[in-house]
């Protein structure tokens, strides 16, 4: 009877796909022709401003913006770069992204869960009705050289990002990105990012920090 019961349980687990060999989906990718499977996933924000502006054809346009920055590294170092751009890491590939909700001529809209289109150029995110909020994201791959200098022409990504949960302690969701690096670059799968303490950015002009005191100190 015990043998029959054990056999029944084993068959039930196999039929349901159970067992120790089943692996959970992971965030995996390829960047600059090399495997890029992030082990560090961090975020900063969201941050908002009601007083953003840009100039187009001589006309200044006001807008409100809420933005979230995400960073991914196959090794630790992304958060360190975000908090001190002059403390460089040599030969280091990473991915950074911006998820934003903007509104022309109005107050900043809160960043919410849901899907966002990832554009190669954020200026491509144009709503059908100019008064509607813009939900958009931009991501790019990057890497530093042996002198800790970032790539002069980092490849942009297109695709989608879905945010499932957004709090002060974690941001989780799923990425489906394709990089224009000419080498089949991609980043796909679920992610859970943790806060990058000390990382700051301008809500109106979010961007990774640059070293302003000369050549970064390489590590």
Predicted confidence at residue 22, as pLDDT, reads: 52
On whether the CB atoms of residues 2 and 167 are closer than 8 A, the answer is no
Note the pLDDT of residue 24: 60
Run of H or E including 99: strand 93-104
Spatial distance between the Cα atoms of 106 and 62, rounded to a whole number of angstroms: 8
Write down the pLDDT at residue 208: 66
Task: Please give the pLDDT value at position 206.
Answer: 74
> Which residues of the chain, if any, have pLDDT below 70?
1-24, 208-209, 214-216
- Rounded to 5 degrees, φ, ψ at 71 are -135, 140
Determine the Cα–Cα distance for residues 212 and 86; give it in Å rounded to an integer: 8
CB-based burial label for 158 (10 Å; 0-12, 13-18, 19+): middle
- What is the number of other CB atoms lying within 10 angstroms of the CB of residue 120? 17
pLDDT attached to residue 4: 37
The single-letter DSSP state of residue 219 is -
Please report the sign of the dihedral spanned by the C-alpha atoms of residue 207, residue 79, residue 161, residue 52: negative
Distance CA 184, CA 205 (A): 29
pLDDT digits (tens, 9 = 90+) for 74-98: 988 888 888 887 777 888 999 999 9
């Amino acid at each position: 009877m015990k043998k029959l019961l054990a056999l029944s349980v084993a068959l039930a687990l196999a039929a349901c796909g159970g067992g120790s060999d089943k692996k959970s989906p992971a965030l995996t990718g390829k960047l600059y022709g090399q495997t890029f499977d992030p082990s560090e996933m961090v975020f900063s924000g969201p941050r908002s401003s009601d007083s953003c502006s840009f100039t187009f054809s001589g006309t200044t346009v006001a807008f409100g913006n809420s933005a979230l920055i995400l960073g991914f590294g196959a090794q630790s170092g992304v958060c360190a770069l975000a908090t001190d751009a002059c403390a460089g890491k040599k030969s280091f590939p990473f991915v950074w992204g911006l998820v934003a909700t903007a509104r022309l001529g109005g107050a900043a809209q809160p960043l919410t869960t849901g899907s966002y289109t990832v554009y190669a150029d954020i200026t491509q995110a144009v709503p059908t009705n100019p008064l509607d909020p813009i939900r958009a994201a931009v991501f790019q791959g990057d890497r530093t050289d042996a002198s800790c200098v970032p790539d002069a022409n980092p490849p942009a990504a297109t695709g989608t990002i879905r945010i499932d949960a957004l709090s002060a302690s974690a941001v989780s969701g799923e990425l489906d990105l394709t990089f224009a690096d000419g080498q089949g670059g991609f980043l796909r799968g679920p992610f859970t990012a943790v806060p990058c303490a000390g990382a700051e950015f301008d809500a109106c002009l979010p961007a990774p920090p640059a070293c302003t005191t000369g050549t970064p100190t390489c590590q």
